[in-house]
Amino acid sequence: MPEPPPLDEPVAEAWFDGDLAPEDFRALGYRVIDAIANHLRDVPDLPVFAGRTPEEVARTFDEPLPKHGQEPARILDDWDEKVLPNATHNTSPRYFGYVMGSGTPMGILAEALAASVNMNAGGWKPAPSATEVERRTLAWLAELIGFDPACGGVLVSGGTMANVTALHTALRNAAPYDTTPRGLQDEARTGRFLVYASDHEGHVSLVRAVDMLNLGREALRRVPSRGDFTMDVGALRGMIEEDRARGDLPFCVVAQVGSVNVGAIDPLDEIADVCREYGLWLHGDGACGAVGAMLPEKRLLYAGLDRADSVSLDPHKWLYVPYECGCVLFRDPVTQRRAFTMEASYLQGILPDGYHGHDFYELGPQMSRGFRALKVWMTLKHYGAEGYRALLRQNVRCAEHLDALVRADPDFEPLHAPVLNLYCFRFVPARLRDDVDAHSEYLDRLNQAITDAIRASGLAFVMTSQLRGRTVLRLSICSHRTRLEDIERVFDDLRRLGHDIDRETGTAAAAAPVVVV
């Protein structure tokens, strides 16, 4: 046995210090705050899309693993020189892609503060204040959309995880046997578990959800929709009857509460009646549109939302908070606990004590969880419900203004009435108006080319989508910074590009509609 060293001998080894001296941290922090403030000041004039190719961006970051540490100031230079110039600016007032929030100022500060204490909001003990901020935030979100604030809920990474969380809970609570011990492998299962959503606007994340639950993608049954893109409830009823007669096990209907292309809201009250009649779970997928329920002038469209068993909504979409933040609410908190409860000696102290609080790890898919609630809580306090109402209203107003511009212009075709902040339309040169169907392939390519061109120009980020098989221009007006002037500027540019591209490519196409350019 070697002799242990004598205790009074000093330890000579160097101890690596992973922290910064407080004054150094402060100086770097001020530089970061300046960079953020400058970005928010400058972003309206920056190209929305950097336009560099995937290869160029990859090359920018092609460097070896740093063997030795670098100066923090040098690392912040990388932010200025490499990261920011290759960012797509969804903080711009003219970012209209996907459904993306614009990032709120209090949300930015909240992210830094949350990181500074680094609480893990998985359990009450490691995160007493974060837990209560989240609980309060969930109750406020529920109240905002007219859902019972005594509901359960949890913040997750986004709408997809919210839908997965909801569908797992639905299956646990609405299956004809207890799926806890044996899940899908139980002999008690007598048929296929089925979920219903509308055919056109049912969101693709529901495919992900049934897939992750291992129900198979065909478990998502597509219900025909009506002319306004909302679910045909008569057809829903017919499908449920038919599937049950075959011995299958319908367990959930997903209603779109603001759909991803046109902002359609399914008839919630009627669907809730069907769900009650057949004992099915009603989930409202309100990732992009549920918060519209806070507008009194839109409330009627949301009638029946309070009857849903669960609702998902994304604060990182139409509440504008920085990524990531999704949310799912459960009308009956017991259903949520039933789906996620679990025990392990290392999660709770073995013996009950006075500090046994609300543990979110037992109420959703994650164990370790960040302090997501802070950015929502702080932004809600900054704007208040009325401030949020004003911002949402401004976005709706922009969609309505765009619709008016489209309807007044002979070279554009309106395709639906604006409901919320999502709007689709087409550029159709007036000369082709009378025979749109014969030129449909050309028009698909033309509209795609217009969005590619406006994105490449840096003026705006606009994408296409498909509406009943046609390629259309789609704007998601989901930024608290967008003003009517932005809409007009972008509309004028879309028109100019449409004419330019049509002039270059369209003459031949008009003569022979199927020519591929």
Ligand X SMILES: *Cc1c(COP(=O)(O)O)cnc(C)c1O
Query: According to CB under 6 A, which one of 172, 203, 331, 480 is a site residue for ligand X?
Result: 203
At 69, list the tokens.
Answer: 């540490």
> How are the residues of the chain apportioned to helix, strand and coil, as percentages rounded to the nearest 5?
50, 10, 40
With contacts defined by CB under 6 A, how many residues of the chain interact with ligand X?
A: 13
Positive or negative, the Cα torsion across 462, 320, 416, 265? positive
Minimum separation from the CB atom of position 162 to ligand X (A):
7
Q: Is 288 in the site for ligand X (CB under 6 A)?
A: yes
- The amino acid present at 109, given as its one-letter code, is L
Q: Is 480 in the site for ligand X (CB under 6 A)?
A: no
Tell me the backbone φ, ψ of residue 317, rounded to 5 degrees: -105, -95
**Nearest position to ligand X, beta carbon:** 159
Q: Is 195 in the site for ligand X (CB under 6 A)?
A: no
Query: According to CB under 6 A, which one of 43, 48, 99, 501 is a site residue for ligand X?
Result: 99
Query: According to CB under 6 A, which one of 326, 364, 429, 506 is a site residue for ligand X?
Result: 326
Minimum separation from the CB atom of position 288 to ligand X (A):
4
Give the whole-angstrom CA distance, residue 349 versus residue 509: 73
Sheet holding 152-156, edge to edge: 152-156, 326-330, 310-313, 281-285, 249-256, 193-198, 220-223
Nearer to ligand X among residue 324 and residue 488 (C-beta):
324
Q: Which of the ranges 101-109, 147-155, 280-288, 437-445 carries the binding residues for ligand X, by CB under 6 A? A: 280-288
Query: According to CB under 6 A, which one of 134, 266, 270, 314 is a site residue for ligand X?
Result: 314
Q: Which of the ranges 107-115, 164-172, 174-182, 282-290 carries the binding residues for ligand X, by CB under 6 A? A: 282-290
At 71, list the tokens.
Answer: 């100066």
Q: Is 97 in the site for ligand X (CB under 6 A)?
A: no
Binding mask 251-270 for ligand X (x = CB under 6 A): ---------x----------
Minimum separation from the CB atom of position 453 to ligand X (A):
26
Minimum separation from the CB atom of position 27 to ligand X (A):
36
Give the whole-angstrom CA distance, residue 39 versus residue 61: 22
Give the whole-angstrom CA distance, residue 471 versus residue 114: 42
Minimum separation from the CB atom of position 99 to ligand X (A):
5
Give the whole-angstrom CA distance, residue 210 versus residue 199: 15
Which contiguous run of DSSP H or E holds residue 427? strand 422-427
Q: Which of 257, 271, 277 is nearest to 307 (CA)?
A: 271
Residue numbers 483-502 binding ligand X by CB under 6 A: none
Contacting residues for 131 by C-beta, under 8 A, at least 6 apart: 121, 123, 124, 357, 358, 359, 360
Minimum separation from the CB atom of position 204 to ligand X (A):
8
Minimum separation from the CB atom of position 203 to ligand X (A):
4
Q: Which of the ranges 137-145, 156-164, 344-352, 425-433 carries the binding residues for ligand X, by CB under 6 A? A: 156-164
Q: Is 292 in the site for ligand X (CB under 6 A)?
A: no
Number of alpha carbons in the 13 Å side-chain half-sphere of residue 457: 15
Residue whose token pair is 């209203």: 393
Number of alpha carbons in the 13 Å side-chain half-sphere of residue 486: 25
Nearer to ligand X among residue 151 and residue 291 (C-beta):
291
Q: Is 160 in the site for ligand X (CB under 6 A)?
A: yes
Nearer to ligand X among residue 167 and residue 405 (C-beta):
167
Q: Is 287 in the site for ligand X (CB under 6 A)?
A: yes
Tell me the backbone φ, ψ of residue 257, rounded to 5 degrees: -110, 75
Q: Which of the ranges 153-161, 227-235, 240-248, 383-391 carries the binding residues for ligand X, by CB under 6 A? A: 153-161
Q: Which of the ranges 157-165, 233-241, 328-336, 354-362 carries the binding residues for ligand X, by CB under 6 A? A: 157-165
Tell me the backbone φ, ψ of residue 26, rounded to 5 degrees: -60, -45
- 8 A C-beta contact, residue 312 and residue 166: yes
Q: Is 285 in the site for ligand X (CB under 6 A)?
A: yes
Query: According to CB under 6 A, which one of 93, 159, 250, 304 is a site residue for ligand X?
Result: 159
Nearer to ligand X among residue 306 and residue 314 (C-beta):
314
Q: Is 205 in the site for ligand X (CB under 6 A)?
A: yes
Helix, strand, or coil (residue 194): strand
Residues lying near ligand X in the complex (CB under 6 A): 99, 158-160, 163, 203, 205, 260, 285, 287-288, 314, 326
